Amino acid sequence: MRKRILAGLLAGLLLMTAVPVTAEPMSGDNDVTAESVIGAGDEATEGIGDALAADAAVATDDDVAMHATDDLMTEGANEANPPAPQELVTEDGLIGYTSGSSGEYGHIVSGHIPSPGDVYEPVDLEEAFMRAAADPEVSLPEAYSLEVNADTLFGRSAGYFTVPDRQLVTPIKQQNPYGNCWAFGGVGSAESGMLKNGYYTDAASADVDFSEAHTAFYGAVSNENDTPVGTEGDVAYNSDWANNGGNARWVMSAWSKGRGIAKEAVLPYNRLQNDYTGVTAALNGGAHKDTRTERLVNARQCRFNDPNHVKENIMAYGAADIDVAYWDAYVGPGQENLYVPTPSTTNHAVLLVGWDDHYSRENFGKAGAADPIRPERDGAWLCKNSWGNYNKIGGYFWISYEDVVFQSTTATWFECEPITGREIIDQHDGGMDIAWAPIYYNYRVIWQAAVFTSQERHQVEAVSFWTREMENTDYEIRVYKNVVAESDPTAGTLVSAATVSGIQRDSGYQEVKLTTPVVVEQGERYSVLVGLRNPNGVNIILESGMQIKYSGTETLALNSTVKAEYGENFVGDSAAFNSTAYDWIDVRDAYSKRGNLRIKAIGSPVTAPTPTPTPEPTPEP
Is the CB of residue 104 less than 8 Å from the CB of residue 32?
Answer: no
Note the pLDDT of residue 119. 32
Is the CB of residue 138 less than 8 Å from the CB of residue 153?
Answer: yes
What phi and psi, each to the nearest 5 degrees, are found at residue 50?
-60, -45
Average pLDDT value for the chain: 76
Predicted model pTM: 0.79
Q: Quick check: 57 pLDDT over 80?
A: no
pLDDT band at 438 (very low <50, low <70, confident <90, very high): low
**Nearest Cα residue to 102 out of 27, 19, 180, 178:** 27
- CB pairs under 8 A, 24+ apart, for 571-575? 571/6, 571/10, 571/446, 571/447, 571/448, 571/449, 571/540, 571/597, 572/6, 572/446, 572/447, 572/448, 572/449, 573/2, 573/6, 573/443, 573/445, 573/446, 573/447, 574/445, 574/447, 574/531
Q: Quick check: 2 pLDDT over 70?
A: no
Q: How far apart are CA 169 and CA 189, in angstroms?
A: 8
| Burial class, 599, CB count within 10 angstroms (exposed 0-12 / middle 13-18 / buried 19+) | buried
Sign of CA dihedral 506, 296, 216, 467: negative
- Among 43-57, 100-114, 140-154, 312-326, the range with the most confident prediction by mean pLDDT is 312-326
What phi and psi, each to the nearest 5 degrees, are found at residue 323?
-100, 140
Q: How far is CA 34 from CA 31, 175, 326, 398, in A?
A: 10, 19, 20, 20
Note the pLDDT of residue 617. 77
Decide which of 3 and 543 is more confident: 543
Decide which of 465 and 578 is more confident: 465
Note the pLDDT of residue 223. 81
pLDDT cut 70: percent of the chain above it: 72
177 prior amide bond cis, ω within 30: yes
pLDDT band at 613 (very low <50, low <70, confident <90, very high): confident
pLDDT band at 381 (very low <50, low <70, confident <90, very high): very high
Q: Quick check: 463 pLDDT over 80?
A: yes
Q: Give mean pLDDT, residues 373-380.
A: 94
Q: Quick check: 74 pLDDT over 70?
A: no
Note the pLDDT of residue 113. 61
| Burial class, 307, CB count within 10 angstroms (exposed 0-12 / middle 13-18 / buried 19+) | buried
Note the pLDDT of residue 553. 83
**Nearest Cα residue to 215 out of 182, 168, 173:** 182
pLDDT band at 247 (very low <50, low <70, confident <90, very high): very high
Q: Give mean pLDDT, residues 437-464.
A: 84
Q: What is the pLDDT of residues 424-434, one digit of tens each?
A: 999 999 988 88
Q: Where are the beta strands (DSSP E) in 278-422?
A: 294-303, 320-324, 337-338, 348-356, 380-384, 396-400, 410-418
Q: What is the pLDDT of residues 338-365, one digit of tens each?
A: 999 999 889 999 999 999 999 999 999 9
Decide which of 459 and 145 is more confident: 459
Note the pLDDT of residue 89. 52
Q: Containing H/E element for 95?
A: strand 95-97
Decide which of 439 and 482 is more confident: 482
pLDDT band at 50 (very low <50, low <70, confident <90, very high): very low
Q: What is the pLDDT of residues 305-340, one digit of tens each?
A: 888 899 999 999 999 999 999 998 999 999 999 999
Lowest mean pLDDT of 174-188, 189-203, 557-571, name the range.
557-571
Note the pLDDT of residue 41. 27
Lowest mean pLDDT of 134-148, 184-198, 360-374, 505-519, name the range.
134-148
Decide which of 237 and 398 is more confident: 398
Q: Quick check: 145 pLDDT over 70?
A: no
